[in-house]
Structure 1
Amino acid sequence: MNISLTPELEQLVKDKVNSGRYHSVSEVMGEALRLLSNAMPAAGYANAFESSVSQN
């Protein structure tokens, strides 16, 4: 899977890996998606995700 990030988000991901807390970009993205899924009620997840994607 390929994703496009703004330069600011790309730098954030790189900073997280460089901090040593995460070993890879995949780990950072996995954690971000886990947090996103926990923050959104299951019933509203699909609509919120579609809104997020359409804004990019």
Structure 2
Amino acid sequence: MKKIVRALLLPGVMLMLLTSCNTETTHFNYTFKGESETWSAVYGQTASQKLII
């Protein structure tokens, strides 16, 4: 039983390490503008999204 656990533990840990390093971060910059006769506004937002597989 211990041999089976050892045989599955090492590949399992290796798989976790390899997939945890496969992350990608995407950055977004949004700018919203609006105006009327009596007002005007500019709203900026910086956001990021991390893709985890």
TM range (shorter): 0.3 to 0.5
Higher share in helix: 1
- More relative contact order, 1 or 2 (CA 8 Å, 6+ apart): 2
Higher share in strand: 2
TM-score of the pair, normalised by structure 1: 0.33
- Greater Cα radius of gyration, structure 1 or 2: 2
TM-score of the pair, normalised by structure 2: 0.34
